[in-house]
Amino acid sequence: MLSPSDFSNFFRPQFIFLISKPSACTLNNTCKESSPPRKPDSPSNPLRVLMEQLEKKEIRFTIGSGDELCRRAQMELRQKLPNLTQPECNRIGLALTLDLKKKSHLVSPNFNPNILYPKDEICFSFDQKGAVRFSYNSPSHHLKGSANLNIRPIDSQNIQNAVTYELGQLKKEIKRAPQFTQKIKNSPIKDYFETIYSRSSTPERQLLSESRYTGYALETEENDALFERLKASGEIARLERFGWKQGPAFIVLGASQTLLMLSKSREGRIAIRKYTLSTGLGGVNGKGDRGTPPGMARLVFQYNGIRGKKAIERAGMGAEFKEGQVARRRIASVNESGKPATMSTRVLQLQSLEPSNARFQQGAYFAHGTNRERTLGEAASDGCLRFSNLDIVEIAHLIGGEGALVDIRDDLPPVPTRRSKPSLQQRESLLSNEKPVVSEAASLILPENDRRFVASIEAKIWPNLDELEARDPLGPRLISIAELKSLLTQEEQDFIDRLLAIDPKTLGIQVPKVPSIEVPRNQLVGLSSSLPHSLEDSVRYPMTPQARAAFLAMRTACAAATKEWINPSSAYRSDGYQLALFITNLNKNNFDLKKTASRVTFPGYSEHGSIRNGNMAMDLQTESAHGDAFLRSQSYTWLTKHAAEYGFSLSYPENNPTGIDFEPWHWRFDRKRWEAQLEKNNPTREDIYRFIVSQSPLDKAVEFTHQPREIIARQLANALVDAMHSNQIPITDVTLAICLAQIEREGEFLLDPPIPNPVKMYNRYKNKALTDIRSRLRQISPHAETVVMPIVLNQVIPRYEKVYRDKIYACKTERDLERILTNIVADLRADKKISSLFSIPFIGDNLRAEFEKGIQILEDPIKRVGMMQVDVDKALSIARAQGKEITRPQMRETLYSLEGNLQYGLNLLAIPIKAYLTDDKGAVECVFADYNAGEFASRNAAVQDYLNTLLRTHDPSFPNLVLDGDLLSYKEARVPNSTLSNSEKAFIQFGKAYKISSLTPDQIRKDLLLEKTPEFEQTLTYRSLRETYAKVFHSQPAYARLPEISTDTAEKLGRPNITTDHYVSGSKRRYTLIQSQMRSRT
């Protein structure tokens, strides 16, 4: 029985009932109960107890004390109470409706009142026997439901626990509702989905929220283009032959695991929607037991003994269909693991319309929902068509009771092509079949008096080019004609001018002239000497970054197919280098100009000298096939079939009309074709959004920010794509997985990440500042510390800690703690006790200056902030390098914005991505390591590693260097120290040990100042070290390795022994998981 104290407990500040009208009782009418009424003066009548407590003023509406809402509720209760004291009313009469527009201070562990709307209603009805009925109606969230609570024994604690649990469940329902609404917002049956959701039970709603919705309507241009293709291929006519006139018809494409739904309107226009499905494991044309039979069929509502649309739909969400009936149990999840695949939610039978298909006639193939939605997009079923549970509901609702046509095929039939009529010029060339006529104006053999210059020029230029190559591997191939002519006499220069004046067309060479453009050095790059199976000279051939990326991708694919590794034997060549090659080959070909020009094009006409718009030419070879022998290699056969996929094409095939000999090694790169191929294969902005919204780590951001999942995912996807574009990071599966893994690793998709222990972090920063102040005071005077520190420690700090204690305990994020510390610093500067110390004669000014420097540690303690934990100092240096005038506080605010944090974070991430992934120099691990340890830390750690090896080989007693990735020692803000670091001393020792006279201390210092840039790899110090290692050990050293240092995230995490390896393993684990999820979705 409820006691007076129980009623008092109900109305404590942490608890409230929102109660609607009881089912058998209204406010203005008497109750009509079948049970005999209790007398109002009965001691056991809870209403009487309530009235007594109210009259004695022992019950007070203390929820949100002082709130107008509470006063209104109290007045309403007093006004309505007389109507509830009728003898016929034996139910408790707390019938009170609160205005939910006001914040009603619903303080419950699992409930937030802000998620409710004015029309929403929550009802708890109690009777004197302890029966409690909980019901809710939320039109704004499309939710409606009820539950009977059996509470034993009847006491306030049990009732409070039960109500708290129901409120927690309701919170989950309300949290899922907007996510579901957002998911199906573009569905043609959105209202039907909302009706299902509002009428479903809690388990069914959970399935609706978890299920994927893959359907989407094509944009107008894509829709029209696909319709034209369907029409041209005869697919539309095929559907119409089987009776399609209006409404939906379906096409299953097994190759892409796609369902096309064609809806024909009365006007004849066809709209197309796409869905993702899963066909039979044996393929659409599979002849095994687990293949999906091809052909035309009809989808109808029938499953063994169950017939009709209403009977199928009555099963509800997640219902299992088994052995001719709907099983009682429902699937627990749309991604059940360890359980057999089931048919769920809706099931439609495939009835064959083609008598030739015997397998369809058995009636054992269906279209249905599944408990394995993760397999959608791949052939995985036993022959049926699997759909997500949401998709099958939509499809079943749209086809209606009569069914719909479905054509199951592997791919669309090819569109018949018509041979175009050849042009007049083409027909004449086919008829004549003649080679270009050589003009009589030019002789094919070099005149006698000019031959003497060839040998003398050749003898002068090549020693200089060899010397240039020793200093700079790319240098000879970038030399200009003017630089070459500067090495020659006037007569030899005149001969060069006469040679360059010859028009190749007069020799039968029909190639266009290439515009003479001086190519900046920073637009060209070479391959890494550590490239797997690379030849020794691969590093010497300059190429554009786009051509290098395409070549490396093609090289890897070719090696996987043929077990042969292709390498360049030439790439970009300047006009000066082309001239040197032409003169050398002219000498070899007995001064025959035509024969020479057919093998080595005239300077100014070579494809090797053109890099307009990123296009260029490359000569290819393998380790065992060079020149003409390349034609007989497996790599050449593979390239003829697949090179176009990477933007490459054979420039001079057999019988080409240019007059240049067949060159199987000469391939031209087309940047636009390569980028178009990348765009075709790479994820789009919408793909990225769909992937992010499905990520489980996003749950924490949704719970922490109280924002809809779709909004967070959309904002993150847009900001991520924009940041990747602006930082020139190509959007591929690999780079996208790296970026998402790093974002999750650093901030768990939270823009302002939480901190685990704010009090501990505050104490650490405070002690650090006090230690710094103490050391500064000692430098001023021995007595300064004894005078100032007791006042600061015993009077000032405790006073402010008392003021800010509750705020420090309550702060949850980095930004909260930073604001509190900023306020404390402002108060310390204005504190009168501290200000009085600055008036001490002789040392007051020094005290002020040193104290100010010490408390600055508290003002700006957190160095890495935001979603990607971007280093503020590095972000400032990036902004200033870009010419932006920005202060440190402004930069911190920028880094707390989503766009700003990703912009600067991906700028830092782009450096290792381009360093290690573009050129196969390292692994993904090095990208993560460098983001945390600093630019090129992994490359420099490898330098330290083989520097150790070389020095210990020469002198076993030499102490090992710490592989921290820093070749110089640095002050704050990454300013190099003037003192020698251990690595710098080791380089000096290396030069002496291996007798490299050019490695002077000044030269080493000059080169090491570039250690944080890619240009360090072109320095004399770096190249000498690698070349010496290759000579001593007869193998190329590794380009990069993980540095061995403790990371600076340990301070925030409170764990002092986190190493780079530990940090990288966490990022790599996330990267691997994201990669596998991407592959499963595609």
The pLDDT assigned to 24 comes to 30
Query: What letter does residue 461 receive in the DSSP assignment?
Result: H
- Cis amide prior to 664 (ω within 30 degrees): no
The pLDDT assigned to 943 comes to 92
The full set of domain ranges for the chain reads 4-174, 209-409, 448-680, 758-862, 934-1045
The pLDDT of residue 442 is above 50: no
Give the span between the Cα atoms of 614 and 627, in whole angstroms. Answer: 25
The pLDDT of residue 718 is above 50: yes
Q: How many CB atoms lie within 10 A of CB 114?
A: 9
Give the span between the Cα atoms of 49 and 610, in whole angstroms. Answer: 97
Q: Who contacts 33 (Cβ-Cβ below 8 Å, separation ≥6)?
A: 24, 88, 89, 90, 91
What are the φ and ψ backbone dihedral angles of 259, each rounded to 5 degrees? Answer: -110, 125
SS (H, E, C) 588-600: HCCCEHHHHHCCC
The DSSP element (H or E) to which 75 belongs, if any, is helix 68-80
Q: Best-predicted range by mean pLDDT among 491-505, 600-614, 771-785, 966-980?
A: 491-505
What are the φ and ψ backbone dihedral angles of 355, each rounded to 5 degrees? Answer: -60, -25
For 634, the token pair is 């497996």
pTM of the model: 0.47
For 469, the token pair is 């190559």
Q: What is the CATH number of domain 448-680?
A: 3.30.1380.10
Give the span between the Cα atoms of 474 and 541, in whole angstroms. Answer: 6
- Please report which confidence band the pLDDT of residue 252 belongs to, taking 50, 70 and 90 as the band edges: very high
The DSSP element (H or E) to which 138 belongs, if any, is strand 131-138
Q: Is the CB of residue 208 less than 8 Å from the CB of residue 377?
A: no
**CATH class of the structural domain 209-409:** mainly beta
Q: What percent of the chain has pLDDT over 90?
A: 9
Give the span between the Cα atoms of 365 and 319, in whole angstroms. Answer: 18
- Summarised one tens digit per residue, pLDDT across range 189-214 is 888 888 888 777 777 888 888 888 99
The pLDDT of residue 98 is above 60: no
- Summarised one tens digit per residue, pLDDT across range 153-178 is 655 566 666 666 766 676 677 767 77
The CA distances from residue 545 to 527, 552, 570, 671, in Å, are: 10, 11, 15, 10
Helix axis angle, 733-747 to 924-933, nearest 10°: 40
Ranges of H-type helices in 727-757: 733-747
- Please report which confidence band the pLDDT of residue 542 belongs to, taking 50, 70 and 90 as the band edges: confident
User: Among 278-287, 899-908, 993-1002, which stretch is predicted with the lowest mean pLDDT?
Assistant: 278-287
Query: What letter does residue 994 receive in the DSSP assignment?
Result: T
Amino acid at 702: V
519: Cα separation from own chain's centroid = 34
What are the φ and ψ backbone dihedral angles of 880, each rounded to 5 degrees? Answer: -70, -35
- Summarised one tens digit per residue, pLDDT across range 1006-1046 is 999 999 888 898 899 998 998 898 888 877 788 888 898 76
Q: Is the CB of residue 781 less than 8 Å from the CB of residue 847?
A: no
Furthest-apart CA pair in the chain: how many Å? 137
Q: How many CB atoms lie within 10 A of CB 342?
A: 21
The pLDDT of residue 122 is above 70: no
For 751, the token pair is 């823009």
Vertex 834: Cα angle to 832 and 836 (nearest 5): 70
The DSSP element (H or E) to which 70 belongs, if any, is helix 68-80
